[in-house]
Amino acid sequence: MSNKSSSKPLIILTAGGTGGHVFPAESLAEELSARGYELALVTDSRGKDNYHGKLGEITNYSVLAGAMVGKSKWFKIKSLFKTGLGVLQAAKILLKRKPVCVVGFGGYASFPCSMAAILLGIDLVIHEQNSVMSRTNRFLSKYASFIAQSFENVKFTPSRTPKILTGMPIRQNIAALKDRQYTQKNKNNKFQLLIIGGSQGAKVFGEVIPEAIKQLPAELQQQLQIYHQCRKDDIEVVKKGYEGCKAELTISHFFENMSELYAQTGLIISRAGASSIAEITAAKLPSIIIPLPTAADDHQTTNAEAIGKTQAGHVFNQKDFTSENLKNVLTELLNSPDKLSVMSDRAEKLSIIDASKRLANAIEKEIIAGGR
């Protein structure tokens, strides 16, 4: 349901697909709702009425949308037709609801509503999550009122569109971890190792990480409590990979209590998605980062650059991500508590934990107060 009694104007968010697009939309929705704005979400059929939290509370609209990158010619033709219909559907929603602006978070599900806003002359704000602008956003941002960026010096950003560094909006319970003290022992007096991002390139994580852990000295293994997230279909394979390991293990396709896990984690192994990087630095976590090499325009490698340059974490090129190399890095870090603490301090310096506030402030200043 939508907050109809609000005296402030309607702002429409458009997002869909992966958590990297949804999490920042959820975070901004929480912030704008707290400021009294009426909100609605335009997504595609995958997202409508499937969101929890604030996105699940506001009015959801579904429009047609289709992926274009990496697909066959026939698939692209069908997607183009679907997207054209989706733009008409979104335009109908915008004409009826009359939002003061549309905020797009990228991905093909956000294209129809963003394009409809451009055609109808409604202010469009684009949030670019990655350090390399997505192809969808490269086109849309040429017509945007401003671009909100998670990283400085984002590649392929149109030169004429105003840019504001907001950071990547993250969930409030994770942003709250700014007040926590980094710890190398969890409540069970174990060193907690958290492994996330196994949904993409899961085969590599599932093969390399368990083997590396098993190569550690037995006394180091016994000190570990491991939480390993992987695809649901891979759980049994990953479990088998850990056979003989002396660490405590929890393997799951999804962890509900991420803020609690972050709060007790001593070291994290992760891909370099924008949301992951933002959450890792907000939680002050030393990290081992393996950018996904197949990510569009290799944006994950660029996302991870600051962590590598400041030595807030160890960044592996995937071709070098072997069980032997990982074992060596883990052995060094697990035997160097002071180094882990320094890495935590460096991660904290990279974090932007008030990104949703910065983005809401920019919308109010540039569009609401600016009378655009």
Confidence of residue 28 (pLDDT cuts 50, 70, 90): very high
Q: How far apart are CA 17 and CA 12, in angstroms?
A: 17
DSSP reduced 3-state for 279: helix
**CATH code of the region 10-169+353-368:** 3.40.50.2000
**CATH code of the region 175-350:** 3.40.50.2000
Q: How many CA atoms lie within 13 A of 250 on its CB side?
A: 11
Q: How many CA atoms lie within 13 A of 19 on its CB side?
A: 15
Using one digit for the tens of pLDDT, what is the confidence trace for 42-69?
998 776 666 778 898 999 999 999 876 6
Confidence of residue 104 (pLDDT cuts 50, 70, 90): very high
Q: How far apart are CA 188 and CA 152, in angstroms?
A: 39
Identify residue 316 by its one-letter amino acid code.
Answer: F
Domain boundaries, the chain: 10-169+353-368, 175-350
The pLDDT, as a whole number, for residue 223 is: 97
The pLDDT, as a whole number, for residue 2 is: 46
| Nearest Cα to Cα of residue 168 among 308, 263, 55, 281 | 281
CB 70 within 8 A of CB 296: no
Q: How many CA atoms lie within 13 A of 312 on its CB side?
A: 22
Please check the confidence at residue 318 and state whether its pLDDT lies above 60: yes
Q: What is the DSSP letter of 55?
A: H
Mean pLDDT across the chain, nearest whole number?
91
- Lowest mean pLDDT: which of 3-17, 125-139, 318-332? 3-17
The reply to whether 10-169+353-368 and 175-350 are identical in fold is yes
Using one digit for the tens of pLDDT, what is the confidence trace for 139-189?
999 999 999 999 988 999 999 999 999 999 998 889 999 888 999 999 999
CB 316 within 8 A of CB 340: no
Confidence of residue 1 (pLDDT cuts 50, 70, 90): very low
The pLDDT, as a whole number, for residue 45 is: 79
How far from the centroid of its chain's Cα atoms is residue 282's Cα?
13
